Amino acid sequence: MSVEVRNLTKSYGNFTAVKDVSLVVNTGQLVALVGPSGSGKTTLLRSIAGLEQPDPGAGTILLNGKDVAAEPVGRRKIGFVFQHYALFKHMTVGENVAFGLRVRPWRSRPSRQEIRKIVGELLDLVQLRGMERRYPSQLSGGQRQRIALARALATKPAVLLLDEPFGALDAKVRRELRQWLRQLHHDVGVTTIFVTHDQEEALEVADRVAVMNKGVIEQIGTPTEVYDHPATPFVQTFLGTVNLFRGRIAEDLQKSGETSNGRDPTSPGKATAFVRPHDVEISRLANGHPGLVGEVISTSMTGPTTRVYLQLSDSRELVEAELTRNRYHELALKIGDTVYVSWRKAKVFADDYSI
Partner 1 sequence: MTTTTLATSSNRRADGENPATGSARWVRIVLTLATVAFIGIFVVLPLANVFAQAFSHGVSGYVHAFFADGPPRGVHMPVRERLKMITAASQARQTRSAIAMTLLVGTTAVVFNVVFGVAAAWAVGKFRFRGKTLLISLIDLPFSVSPVVAGLIFVLLFGREGVFGNWATHFKWPDPFSIYWRGFNGHWWPFGDDQQLEGIVFTPLGIVLGTIFVTFPFVARSLMPTVEAQGVEEEQAALSLGASGWQTFRRVTLPNIRWALLYGIMLCTCRAFGEFGAVSVVSGNTDANDTIPLRVEKLWQSYDSQAAFALASLLAGLALITLLIKGVVDWRRAATVRAGGGGVL
**Binding residue for partner 1 (CB under 8 A) from 19, 116, 134, 175?**
134
- Binding flag, residue 107, partner 1 (CB under 8 A): no
- Binding flag, residue 89, partner 1 (CB under 8 A): yes
- Binding flag, residue 84, partner 1 (CB under 8 A): yes
**Binding residue for partner 1 (CB under 8 A) from 24, 38, 82, 167?**
82
- Binding flag, residue 49, partner 1 (CB under 8 A): yes
Alpha helices in the chain (DSSP H): 41-49, 93-102, 112-125, 141-153, 171-188, 199-205, 223-228, 233-238, 253-260, 325-331
Give the span between the Cα atoms of 288 and 164, in whole angstroms. Answer: 49
**Binding residue for partner 1 (CB under 8 A) from 25, 48, 154, 162?**
154
Of 51 and 348, CB closest to partner 1 = 51
- Binding flag, residue 75, partner 1 (CB under 8 A): yes
- Binding flag, residue 48, partner 1 (CB under 8 A): no
Of 84 and 129, CB closest to partner 1 = 84
Dihedral (C-alpha) 26, 29, 35, 37: value to the nearest 10 degrees? 100
Q: Three-state DSSP class for 291?
A: coil
Min dist. Cβ of residue 92 to partner 1 (A): 9
Contact present, 322 and 316 (Cβ < 8 Å): no
Count Cβ atoms within 10 A of the Cβ of residue 236 and give its class: 0-12 exposed, 13-18 middle, 19 or more buried: buried
Min dist. Cβ of residue 114 to partner 1 (A): 16
Min dist. Cβ of residue 187 to partner 1 (A): 22
Of 102 and 344, CB closest to partner 1 = 102
Min dist. Cβ of residue 108 to partner 1 (A): 10
- Binding flag, residue 294, partner 1 (CB under 8 A): no
**Binding residue for partner 1 (CB under 8 A) from 10, 151, 185, 248?**
151
**Binding residue for partner 1 (CB under 8 A) from 35, 40, 54, 79?**
79
**Binding residue for partner 1 (CB under 8 A) from 88, 263, 289, 301?**
88
Count Cβ atoms within 10 A of the Cβ of residue 167 and give its class: 0-12 exposed, 13-18 middle, 19 or more buried: middle
- Binding flag, residue 40, partner 1 (CB under 8 A): no
Could you tell me how many residues make up the chain? 355
- Binding flag, residue 136, partner 1 (CB under 8 A): yes
Stretch that binds partner 1, among 82-90, 245-253, 292-300, 335-343 (CB under 8 A): 82-90
Min dist. Cβ of residue 102 to partner 1 (A): 8
Give the span between the Cα atoms of 160 and 299, in whole angstroms. Answer: 43
- Binding flag, residue 71, partner 1 (CB under 8 A): no
Give the span between the Cα atoms of 279 and 323, in whole angstroms. Answer: 9
Torsion sign across C-alpha atoms 343, 345, 349, 353 = negative
What residues contact residue 211 under an 8 Å CB cut-off, 6+ apart? Answer: 34, 35, 217, 218, 219, 220, 226, 234, 235, 238, 239
Min dist. Cβ of residue 135 to partner 1 (A): 4
Of 88 and 353, CB closest to partner 1 = 88
- Binding flag, residue 340, partner 1 (CB under 8 A): no
Min dist. Cβ of residue 137 to partner 1 (A): 4
Give the span between the Cα atoms of 235 and 39, in whole angstroms. Answer: 13
Contact present, 223 and 206 (Cβ < 8 Å): yes
What residues contact residue 180 under an 8 Å CB cut-off, 6+ apart? Answer: 146
Give the span between the Cα atoms of 42 and 46, in whole angstroms. Answer: 6
Of the candidates 212, 219, 319, 331, the one whose C-alpha atom is nearest the C-alpha of residue 275 is: 319
Of 97 and 333, CB closest to partner 1 = 97
Residue ranges that bind partner 1, judged by CB under 8 A: 49, 51, 72-75, 78-80, 82, 84, 86-91, 99-100, 103-104, 134-138, 151-152, 154-155
